[in-house]
Amino acid sequence: ETGVTQTPRHLVMGMTNKKSLKCEQHLGHNAMYWYKQSAKKPLELMFVYNFKEQTENNSVPSRFSPECPNSSHLFLHLHTLQPEDSALYLCASSQEGGRNEKLFFGSGTQLSVL
Amino acid sequence: GENVEQHPSTLSVQEGDSAVIKCTYSDSASNYFPWYKQELGKRPQLIIDIRSNVGEKKDQRIAVTLNKTAKHFSLHITETQPEDSAVYFCAAPPKGSFQKLVFGTGTRLLVSP
């Protein structure tokens, strides 16, 4: 299934590095999301974009900066991260961004911050 | 805001047995309850969902039941198979939020042959 693709699959970065995560969806959806998945914690919503506009920022630190140039692409720019930011970062999309919609997830980027 | 609690955190069963995972939610206005399955190293995928106007929904070997009065919903897997081994997440949308789903902490199901 290649509806939502994320790159890279794995990323190791130092605390002073700047890197970006990329997500692309081929489903014609209008809403895209970034989730953080840490061990033994619930999936945490980070950002939501509807028709390229950010509609939700779930109190995410400014060292995470999202970008949505169009409805098919979503980026997460990372800078000066902390070791506790190590996690699996999942991108998802849905048709219109409504509460009762199925989420289609990408395979995630496993991030390790040293 | 919404609080979703999921139990158990791990569940081990023998192949052919049934498995039940339960979630409780706090917001009585929640009206949509999906279940996602995440196999090891793979993406979460929706396996079944239920809306608050029905009490039960079935799809082959999986079913979800909803008790609105008690504010809990459960995932039932019958005749479990090794390929059912995965982490299962429940979720519910909180009141007043257009798009935010609140997920449970997950249940790791292990089905032994």
Judged against a pLDDT cut of 70, whether residue A42 lies above it is answered with yes
Contact A99 B93 (CB under 8 A): yes
Query: How far from B16 is each of A8, B83, B111, CA to CA, in Å?
Result: 38, 12, 9
B13 in Cβ contact with B19 (< 8 Å):
yes
Write out pLDDT tens, residues B27-57: 888 889 999 999 998 999 999 999 888 899 9
Please identify which residue in the block is written with the tokens 């039960």.
B56
Residue B83 has what DSSP assignment?
Answer: G
Report how far residue B108's alpha carbon sits from residue A41's, in angstroms, rounded to the nearest whole number: 13
How many CB atoms are located within 10 Å of the residue A66 CB?
Answer: 20
Q: Which two tokens stand for residue A101?
A: 């919609």
Distances (CA, A) of B41 to A28, A88, B38, B90: 26, 10, 8, 19
- Residue of A33, A41, A98 lying closest to B105 (CB–CB): A41
CA separation for the pair B34, B6 (Å, rounded): 13
pLDDT of res. B101: 84
Helix (H, G, I), strand (E, B), or coil: what is residue A65?
strand
- Using DSSP's 3-state secondary structure scheme, residue A83 falls into helix
Distance from CA of B37 to the nearest CA of A (A): 11
Cβ atoms B49, A99 nearer than 8 A = no
pLDDT tens digits for A57-98? Answer: 778 999 999 999 999 999 999 999 999 999 999 999 999 877
Q: What is the pLDDT of residues B59-107, one digit of tens each?
A: 999 999 999 999 999 999 999 999 999 999 999 987 666 567 889 999 9
Q: B86 in contact with A at a CB cutoff of 8 Å?
A: no
Q: How far apart are the C-alpha atoms of A48 and A92, rounded to whole Å?
A: 9
A3 is written with which tokens? Answer: 């509806």
Chain B residues near residue A45 by CB distance under 8 angstroms: 100-101
Do residue B4 and residue A42 have CB atoms under 8 angstroms apart? Answer: yes
Q: Which residues of B touch A32 (CB under 8 A)?
A: none
Asked if A99 lies within 8 A of B98 by C-beta distance, the reply is yes
Residue A1 has pLDDT above 60, yes or no: no
Identify all chain B residues contacting A48, using CB atoms and an 8 Å cutoff. Answer: 99-100
Chain B contacts of A4, Cβ < 8 Å?
43
